[in-house]
Chains A and B, each alone.
Chain A
Amino acid sequence: MSTTTADSFAAPGPGTPESTRPVKAATLAGAWRTFLVRRVVGLIVNLALLVLVTFLIVQLIPGDPATAIAGESASLDQVELVRTQLGLDQPLPVQLWTYVSGVVQGDFGDSYRYRQPAMDIVMTAVPYTLTITIAAVVLLLVLGIALGMAIGVATRGDRRRWLDLSFSVITGIISSIPTYVLATGFVVVFAVLWRVLPPAYSPAYNIGAAAILPIASLSIGGICSVARIVRRETAVILEQDYMRTARGWRLPTLTLYVKHMLPNLLTTALTLSGIILTALLGSALITEAVFAWPGLGGVIVQAIAVDKDYPVIRAAVFVIGLISLVMTLIIDIILGIIDPRTLGGKRD
């Protein structure tokens, strides 16, 4: 759909005798091209920064990084081994060069603990994290927008004040429960008391059943947050002139809300969902701990807290950063398709 829309705009524009910007006003193809070029350049810059950040994780360790990584009880030989393994005995520019040329080939070095390439360990965990995160994002966008819109329409112009109040109170309480607390609560209720769902991931359980609780605990708070924002935005959009225009055409309720209001809501909701999504990725790292979910959260926590496994930490941070960059880009592209106005300007 995106390409057809873009292409139809690329067709020779109507002659615009009095438009002040005759060329620009007629096509969106130019806007798309500028947008994509800007985003690709942005992506490359961000990737470079990401590589730099992951590189610095080791260099910024206070004191002597090699001693800190090897541990207090390590012998001098072990410390020196770590030093040579991480190339810390080399001058900084050489270290950076070695690191960057490795990263370009997807090589972050071998895990200290597992004696395998760190990237392999991270990539094994990625699908698990992506599964619950993407499912949660889709759920929270679809349900959050539907709920917020329904409440916003039902309470427009101060109708049903009781509904407005109970909605605010209930969603306020739910959205302020930290996801890991919610997750723990779910385990108590569904796995310990009612015994209907598995308490944690294990090969013995059906993976679908084991994923229900992680996805639910990740998405429910977000659904409430999105619904609150959408409800407020609905109230704003209902007051807009173009909604009055649509009412002036006496359009039926469904057309009014689904066709004329929803696209404008989506712009806001998707703009926010970028922020929500990165927050969600962060919560996922912690929530995984509750369910022993074999995703990136477990990998990175184990690597930091127990193993001091810096190659794995670097690889995991890089991959998580990459995921959030790519997802943000995808959301911006979807936004551009829905509302081409977002192509031109910077969003804040």
Chain B
Amino acid sequence: MTVWNVDKNAEAKTMVITAEFKTSITNVWQLWADPRLLERWWGPPGFPATFEHHDLTPGGTITYFMSGPDGVDRFDGTWNVVEVDAPTRLVVEDAIVEDDGTPSDGNSMTRMEIDIEAAGDTTRMILITHFDSLEGMEQAIATGVHEGMKACMSQIDTLLAEVAA
């Protein structure tokens, strides 16, 4: 199990996830820094993400869309890059946008802070997600779950990958 600790605070609308990986800091960083790698894990199976624009510099913008197999459901997202300290720290603010590019929830800027650090012979990733509103949380969940997709599906994938390896 990669997820080491999850700390949730409903009052502050904040979640802190700590995960550890048996690899280098640079390798973990690459999964955020390389849009082709990022899109392989961001969206759930059946609802893949495509990162169109990926400017990983402070003030830069990252845009992506997610679409289902029918091509009808489409979800557009924009991240504003706040801080970049490669390969250890990344801060983005997430604004889910409508088709015309306007934020669908004016005040629901979700802040995501990613810290990557050495932890013995593993690499620890601490991810802090902060929400301004319950609506923002609902939107974040919508991008992660599609058509009743459950976590177990992904666990099956993991098992298959292990068997195949």
Does A associate with B in a complex? Answer: no
Chain A residues in the interface with B (C-beta under 8 A): none
